[in-house]
Amino acid sequence: MTHLRLSAFPNAKALPIWIAQTQGFFAKRGIEVDVDWTESSKEQRDGLITGRIDLVQSAIDNGLSLITSGHDVIIAMGGEAGMNDFIVQPEITSLNDLKGRTLVVDSPDTAYALLARNMLARAGLTYKQDYDMRPVGNGSKRLIAMLQSKDAAGGVLNPPFTAQAKAAGLKSLGRLVDHLGPYQAGGLFVLRDFAKTNSAALEAFIAAYVEALRFARDPQHAEECISVLREKLALDEAIARATLPEMLDPAFGFAIDAKLDPMGLDNVLTTRAATEGADPRLDHPNSFIDESFYKNALAVLDR
């Protein structure tokens, strides 16, 4: 067995990882995946560049952030469109109501916080002038912060926290893909040197992940997927049943076979440039997008 150390967030988007473990998709390809369930994207980035982590399954904007910091990172696979809802306190009726308020985020300078900043900019609100952001960590921590205090006016949440938030009386101002268009949110990124020296293991991981996605999309496995969500995330049945269909919507949730979306990737790059400034290291996506491992994995999977 080849051991791989993967960093991922402990939310519903980890479903393919759990399925690949429980169905033996990793094991049959000769890999054992040790998952580090992260508290924050900063923890993920630090783990990758220090060598504590081999693979990161997360918002690919975190990989872009590492590239702009001088690290040789490649994006090897897509994943999903983020499954992001903009959740706010019940008294908030529009984006303009967030003037003078504070949003809770994982990190203000990466991923979904940049999307929120872009969305609010379109509404005429300027970060640090009209509103502020407070980093609290992953989706579960953002939900807790909003439920504990009205000072946390809103934040970007994804399943199952969106369904839990709505059940608790919070409300949605809309899905981010509806506000901003296609977005390549989740994906797999690694250090280039690791990919070169561990190509077989990387391709085995990708093949197992895609096989798990196909398993989840099969209606015959719906009850099993709901059971996994309930067990791993301690969800009640209603929340789990509300969560699974959202996750399987290709326009909102998991992409078919975790394929990268060129339009979504372009939106990621445009959003980062608009919020964090242009960086020449991101001018040529072919320099940091490497789908060769993905294509090899699918060729083996479909053989």
Whether pLDDT at 265 is above 90: yes
Residue 3, Ramachandran bin (φ over 0: left; ψ between -120 and 50: alpha; else beta): beta
Q: What is the mean pLDDT of residues 237-250?
A: 92
Tell me what pLDDT residue 260 has. 96
Domain boundary among 162, 180, 198: 180
Give the global pTM.
0.88
Task: Give the pLDDT band of residue 273 (cuts 50, 70, 90).
Answer: very high
Q: How big is the CA angle at 112 (ends 14 and 259), to the nearest 5 degrees?
A: 50
Q: Identify whether residues 15 and 64 lie together within a single domain.
A: yes
What is the average pLDDT across 168-195?
94
- Mean local confidence (pLDDT), 124-135: 96
- Statement to judge: residues 190 and 297 lie in one domain: yes
Q: How far apart are the first and last CA of the chain?
A: 22
Indicate whether 29 pLDDT > 90.
yes
Domain around 128: 85-180
Per-residue model confidence (pLDDT) at position 128 = 95
pLDDT of 303 above 90? no
Q: How many domains does the chain have?
A: 2
User: What per-residue confidence (pLDDT) applies to 250?
Assistant: 86
Q: In this structure, what CATH number is given to the domain that contains residue 145? A: 3.40.190.10
Residue 195 has pLDDT above 90, yes or no: yes
Domain boundary among 159, 180, 201: 180
Return the pLDDT at 78. 96
pLDDT of 179 over the 90 cut: no
- What mean pLDDT do residues 225-236 have? 95
When pLDDT is averaged across residues 155-184 and rounded to a whole number, the result is 92
Query: Lowest mean pLDDT: which of 109-113, 222-226, 294-298?
Result: 109-113
Is the pLDDT assigned to residue 261 strictly greater than 90?
A: yes
Structure confidence at residue 194 (pLDDT): 98
Q: Which of 121, 156, 180 is the last residue of a domain?
A: 180
What's the whole-number mean pLDDT along residues 137-157?
Answer: 95
Mean pLDDT over residues 25-31, rounded? 97
Same-domain pairing of 296 and 189: yes
The rounded distance, in Å, linking the Cα atoms of 76 and 205 is 11
Q: Are residues 69 and 104 in the same domain?
A: no
For residue 193, pLDDT over 90 is answered with yes
Task: Indicate whether 144 and 229 sit together in one domain.
Answer: no
Which letter does DSSP use for residue 286 in this model? G
pLDDT at 74: 98
Residues 89 and 78 in one domain: no
CA gap 186, 209 in Å, rounded: 13
Across 204-224, b (16+ Cβ under 10 Å) vs e yields bbbbbbbbbbebbeeeebeee
Q: Residue 192: pLDDT above 90?
A: yes
Ranges of H-type helices in 149-282: 161-167, 176-180, 192-197, 199-217, 222-233, 237-247, 262-276
Same domain, residue pair 189 and 78: yes
189 pLDDT band, cuts 50/70/90, is: very high
